[in-house]
Chain A
Amino acid sequence: MPDTTFQLVMNLLGLGISVFIGRFAFSGFSVVGSPNLLRLTFAFILIAAGFAIFAGALFMEPAYGQAMLTLGLAAQTIGYFFIALSHGLKRSFDFAPSPRLAMVPLAVAPFIIPGNSIEHLIRSISFILLVYVSIETMAAYMQSRKPTTLMIGSGLGLLASAELIAWYDFIYPGVFSYLALAIKVGGFGLLFIPFSKFGLSSGGLGGRVNSQIGSGV
């Protein structure tokens, strides 16, 4: 297991980044009432909750700590699901694949998702969701050519790699969990860079305008 201090610092860093992004997404939802921003809010709140649970698990007895770790992973997987859901619901890209192709991950899942541990299972689902979200974001980059989209897509790709490496740590326990945690926080760092450009002060109008103009949420 990686050093406790290193894990604590990395988890707190991940917690801070996801709280900031979640707060920004929520202030966006309260101003413009976009369902996608609401889903991003849920996603980052759950991801932040996952990091908080990981940090808490460091101070628990090993038996409870393992259960907490699984709970944190589950929270983050639901968070990734909300981001994937937003991509799944969009219909605006001309070159988007047929909706029937969305069944492919479900069909493949039984062959690549291990059934011998809940933690394995959750990490595998996280990996599949993150790969899907990363591919969708990269597809959006191919269309918009915005550097911020490239950064987010790369960040999500790094998160997927971190899940894969963490999963590999089950087979060969050792340094992989250090590496996975560092890559995961690096991925969140990439998600934070474009976000920091937008600033933290855009929620000034609050929900008032949204409720007055009836944004059609």
Chain B
Amino acid sequence: MAYRTHVSIIADVLATVREYSYEGYDNGASVTHLIRKANVPHQRLSTIVSQLKQSGLLQELPSQSRYKISERGLEFLNAYNNFKGFAESYGLKI
């Protein structure tokens, strides 16, 4: 797998959570889903998830260890994808 920057790992985590946060499916993403789909080790994921919760990009659901993307998280993910496209147009990565 290609080298991933910290921000791209965060974007992968948010994108995974978004997949489980669509309307009509409110269970959220479990830690297992995140580890498997975002391809992040458990210890690192815990740090990232707590950072994302602190910054308001992720919401922890009442059922423990399940997460949902917030409005702010969606906004960040859209902005990230926009800037990623911009950098890739120059043949660069972010």
Can you list 25 pairs linking A and B with CB atoms under 8 Å apart?
A25-B86, A32-B84, A34-B87, A36-B92, A36-B94, A37-B94, A40-B87, A90-B91, A91-B3, A92-B3, A137-B90, A137-B91, A140-B88, A140-B91, A141-B91, A146-B89, A149-B88, A194-B89, A202-B78, A204-B75, A209-B72, A212-B51, A213-B7, A214-B6, A215-B10
A91 to B80, CA, bound (A): 21
Task: Report which of A90, A140, A198, A215 forms a contact with B7, defined as CB distance below 8 A.
Answer: A215
A172 to B20, CA, bound (A): 66
Residue of A nearest to B9 (CB): A216
Contacts of B94 in A (CB 8 A): 28, 32, 34, 36-37
Per DSSP, chain A at the interface is helix
A215 to B76, CA, bound (A): 13
Within the complex, what minimum Cβ distance (angstroms) separates A58 from chain B? 30
Contacts of A202 in B (CB 8 A): 78-79, 82-83
Q: Is A152 touching B91 in the complex (CB atoms < 8 A)?
A: yes
Within the complex, what minimum Cβ distance (angstroms) separates B6 from chain A? 4
Asked if A46 is at the interface (CB within 8 A of a chain B CB), the reply is no
A151 to B94, CA, bound (A): 19
Asked if A5 is at the interface (CB within 8 A of a chain B CB), the reply is no
Q: What total of chain A residues lie within 8 Å of the partner, measured CB to CB?
A: 43
Contacts of A216 in B (CB 8 A): 5-7
Per DSSP, chain B at the interface is helix
Render A23-41 as a binary contact track against B, CB cut-off 8 A, 1 for contact. 0110010011110110010
Contacts of B3 in A (CB 8 A): 91-92
By a beta-carbon cutoff of 8 Å, the part of chain A in contact with chain B is 24-25, 28, 31-34, 36-37, 40, 83, 86-87, 90-92, 136-137, 139-141, 144, 146, 148-149, 151-153, 194-195, 198-199, 202-205, 208-209, 212-216
Contacts of B57 in A (CB 8 A): 209, 213
Residue of B nearest to A216 (CB): B6
Contacts of B6 in A (CB 8 A): 214-216
Within the complex, what minimum Cβ distance (angstroms) separates A187 from chain B? 14
Which A-B residue pairs are the 5 nearest by beta carbons?
A140-B91, A216-B6, A212-B55, A34-B94, A28-B83
